[in-house]
């Protein structure tokens, strides 16, 4: 049911096919994030039209609201959100990191304090898997602890806890129509990362996720981690780099053997008036676009760029119209979805590795600065 077939390799990059109950994923693949069972400002039909094939939803947030049991009664996430392609859910492990100020952790699990009403909720590996089985995604994650990569003293404890929870997650997993991935942790300590990769790879997971990156470490450290663990990961299982999603990150991740990505960045930037482009990140609030007749990115085939001008997009932004967020989200998501599709074709043709410098030159200015 969850076969992963590698069709071509070019350097460390892989082009594959991952079979799931709700369709085939052509990898590498980028997954838009629908935290609350919706990708912000974009409908499921629009997601399909822009080329998305995988969506991520958040276990912790959906457990709190509307509740995993309610979603199960409604037929599971696919029926609930009317997305009939593959879905991936995280385990709540990232919230162990992001909500560190309001949670308590021990060897058994984590007590979270709800941001909605202040109530407390205990997550364990068994609880996380139960919630994810109720949600019914195609790909689910073992419960883990994402730790601050700069806290070297704590990383060892968090990694060991992640390993213990990985084994418990496997034992709790009952649904054969869900692929359970284990998560590699270890911060930016290369020895710990190798040890974690070896341990997680030794367990019968159907895929391997790399967590605890893009949480404050340098890009150089991220790349070093991906490079050193590559040979310690099983060749025949998909590899998922969690929470990473600038164009530059996708190029660098794929060139280091990653198959699956997700990130909130495209839609978050859209809600803050920013657009990916081959000229660098654009701030559509800038007055220079007030009478600009060009599309956001010349040559882009998304609905936004094929239909509207920069002048119109800026007008919507200045007028605070909701359509601005929708059109910019469509564009930003399409840019990443099409980028990984282009890279896949290059891998299949055996020319990706030689074109990495060109791709980085084209997209590298979208990481953290905007052009007018």
For residue 90, indicate whether it is catalytic: yes
How many CB atoms within 10 Å of residue 301? Answer: 12
Return all residues near 323 (Cβ < 8 A) that are at least 6 apart.
Answer: 316
Q: Which of 90, 138, 249, 259 is catalytic?
A: 90
Q: Which residues contact 223 (CB under 8 A, 6 or more apart)?
A: 252, 256
Cβ-contact 229, 184 below 8 angstroms: yes
Task: Given the residues 68, 259, 262, 297, select the one marked as catalytic.
Answer: 262
Cα-based angle 232, 237, 240 (whole degrees, multiple of 5): 85
How would you class 293 by CB atoms within 10 Å of its CB: exposed for 0-12, middle for 13-18, buried for 19 or more? exposed
Query: Which helix or strand (DSSP H or E) is residue 315 part of?
Result: helix 310-318
Active site residue 198: no
User: Backbone phi, then psi, for 284, in 5-degree steps?
Assistant: -75, 0
- Terminal C-alpha separation, the chain: 48
**Burial (0-12, 13-18, 19+ Cβ within 10 Å), 372:** exposed
Question: Is 270 buried (19+), middle (13-18) or exposed (0-12) by CB count in 10 A?
Answer: buried
Phi, psi of 179, deg, nearest 5 = -90, 120
Assigned token pair, 185: 């942790």
3-state SS assignment for residue 179:
strand
Q: What positions carry a catalytic annotation?
A: 90, 262
């Amino acid at each position: 049911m969850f076969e992963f077939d590698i069709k071509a390799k070019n350097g460390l990059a892989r082009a594959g096919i991952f079979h799931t109950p709700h369709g085939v994923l052509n990898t590498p693949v980028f997954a838009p994030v629908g935290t609350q069972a919706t990708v912000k400002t974009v409908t499921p039909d629009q997601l399909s039209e822009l080329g998305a094939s995988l969506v991520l939803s958040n276990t912790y947030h959906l457990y709190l609201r509307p509740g995993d049991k309610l979603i199960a009664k409604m037929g599971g996430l696919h029926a609930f959100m009317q997305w009939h392609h593959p879905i991936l859910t995280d385990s709540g492990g990232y919230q162990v990191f992001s909500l560190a100020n309001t949670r308590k952790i021990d060897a058994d699990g984590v007590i979270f304090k709800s941001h909605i009403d202040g109530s407390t909720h205990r997550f364990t590996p068994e609880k996380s898997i139960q919630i994810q089985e109720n949600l019914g995604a195609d790909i689910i994650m073992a419960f883990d602890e994402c730790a601050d990569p700069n806290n070297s003293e704590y990383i060892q404890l968090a990694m060991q806890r992640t390993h213990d929870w990985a084994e418990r997650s496997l034992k709790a997993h009952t649904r054969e129509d869900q692929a359970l991935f284990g998560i590699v942790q270890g911060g930016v300590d290369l020895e710990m990362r190798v040890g974690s990769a070896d341990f997680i790879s030794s367990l019968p997971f159907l895929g391997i996720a790399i967590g605890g990156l893009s949480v404050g470490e340098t890009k150089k450290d991220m790349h070093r981690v991906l490079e050193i663990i590559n040979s310690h990961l099983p060749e025949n299982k998909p590899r998922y780099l969690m929470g990473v999603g600038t164009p530059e990150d996708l190029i660098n991740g794929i060139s280091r053997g990653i198959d699956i990505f997700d990130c909130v960045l495209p839609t978050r930037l859209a809600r803050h008036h920013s657009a990916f482009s081959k000229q660098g990140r654009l701030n559509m609030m800038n007055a220079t676009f007030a009478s600009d007749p060009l599309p956001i990115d010349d040559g882009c085939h998304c609905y936004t760029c094929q239909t509207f001008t920069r002048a119109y997009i800026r007008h919507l932004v200045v007028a605070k119209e909701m359509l601005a967020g929708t059109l910019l989200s469509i564009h930003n998501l399409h840019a990443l979805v099409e980028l990984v599709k282009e890279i896949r074709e290059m891998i299949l043709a055996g020319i990706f590795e030689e074109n990495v410098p060109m791709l980085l030159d084209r997209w590298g200015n979208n990481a953290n600065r905007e052009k007018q």
